[in-house]
């Protein structure tokens, strides 16, 4: 965040900027190796209330079919078997509460819907910057992460996947939003 920017100056309505956003994940596979991937298609919006962050909100919709790990066979299996994209084309997060922990760190609690199952999750987000974008419009950045248990959403294939793929998946968020025009 620029030195001259205050949290109250960020108040407004924003949309997700895909060019400055990365939504990734990490899961352990057999032998302790890590599989890294990301989603390529998503959209979202946020309302930031710099005077009272508890009045802030956000919504994120991810296209499940856009999952990429760099291995076509694995990606196809993730789409078909794990995420069941034909029946559940999106992953959706909708915030329910926002709490300011310290100056630039916020705890965002909300509902994550995955494979038709909705469960509450909490993610801590750090405000990483705010500035005028290269094409005009104010840009705000956040980063954070959360570890989820995929079994809570029925993201499983069979008993063997409990051994082959960790139940815990780390979601990594680097988010950029721009003022809604």
Q: Tens of pLDDT along 86-96?
A: 999 999 999 99
- The answer to whether residues 45 and 84 touch, using CB atoms and an 8 Å cutoff, is no
The answer to the question of residue 14 being in a domain is: yes
**What gap in Å lies between CA 53 and CA 30, rounded to an integer?**
42
Please tell me the predicted confidence (pLDDT) of residue 77: 87
The answer to the question of residue 147 being in a domain is: yes
Please tell me the predicted confidence (pLDDT) of residue 132: 82
The answer to the question of residue 123 being in a domain is: yes
The single residue listed with the structure tokens 């924003």 is 14
The answer to the question of residue 66 being in a domain is: yes
Terminal Cα-to-Cα distance of the chain (whole angstroms): 21
**What gap in Å lies between CA 77 and CA 62, rounded to an integer?**
18
What global pTM score does this model have? 0.90
The answer to the question of residue 1 being in a domain is: no
Please tell me the predicted confidence (pLDDT) of residue 142: 97
Q: Say which DSSP state 11 is in.
A: -
**What gap in Å lies between CA 88 and CA 65, rounded to an integer?**
9
The answer to the question of residue 124 being in a domain is: yes
Count of residues making up the chain: 181
Phi, psi of 78 (to 5 degrees): -60, -45
The answer to the question of residue 44 being in a domain is: yes
pLDDT at 1 over 50: no
Residues 6+ apart with CB under 8 A from 140: 10, 14, 48, 127, 129, 130, 176, 177, 178
The answer to the question of residue 98 being in a domain is: yes
**pLDDT tens readout for residues 87-136:** 999 999 999 999 999 999 999 999 999 999 999 999 999 999 998 877 66
**pLDDT tens readout for residues 137-172:** 789 999 999 999 988 988 776 544 554 567 889 999
pLDDT confidence band for 3 (50 / 70 / 90): very low
Residue in 136, 92, 131 with CA at minimum distance from that of residue 114: 92
What is the overall mean pLDDT for the chain?
Answer: 89
Please tell me the predicted confidence (pLDDT) of residue 101: 97
Bigger pLDDT: 180 or 133? 180
pLDDT mean over 57-86? 94
Query: Which domain covers residue 157, as residue numbers?
Result: 7-179
The CATH number of the domain holding residue 101 is 2.40.128.110
Total number of domains constituting the chain = 1
**What gap in Å lies between CA 113 and CA 118, rounded to an integer?**
4
């Amino acid at each position: 965040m620029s030195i001259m920017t205050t949290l109250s100056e960020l108040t407004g309505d924003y949309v997700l900027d895909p060019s400055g956003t990365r939504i990734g994940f990490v899961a352990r596979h057999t032998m302790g190796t890590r599989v890294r991937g990301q989603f390529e298609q998503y959209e979202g919006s946020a309302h930031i209330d710099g005077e009272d962050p508890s009045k802030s909100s956000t919504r994120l919709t991810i296209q499940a079919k856009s999952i990429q790990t760099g291995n076509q066979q694995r990606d196809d299996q993730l789409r078909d078997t794990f995420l069941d994209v034909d029946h559940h084309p999106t992953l959706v997060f909708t915030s329910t509460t926002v709490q300011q922990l310290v100056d630039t760190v916020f705890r965002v609690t909300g509902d994550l819907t995955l494979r038709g199952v909705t469960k509450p999750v909490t993610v801590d987000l750090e405000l990483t910057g705010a500035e005028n974008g290269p094409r005009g419009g104010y840009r705000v950045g956040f980063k954070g992460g959360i570890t989820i248990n995929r079994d809570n959403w029925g993201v499983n294939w069979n008993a063997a996947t409990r051994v082959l793929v960790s139940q815990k998946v780390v979601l990594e968020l680097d988010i950029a939003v721009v003022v809604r025009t």
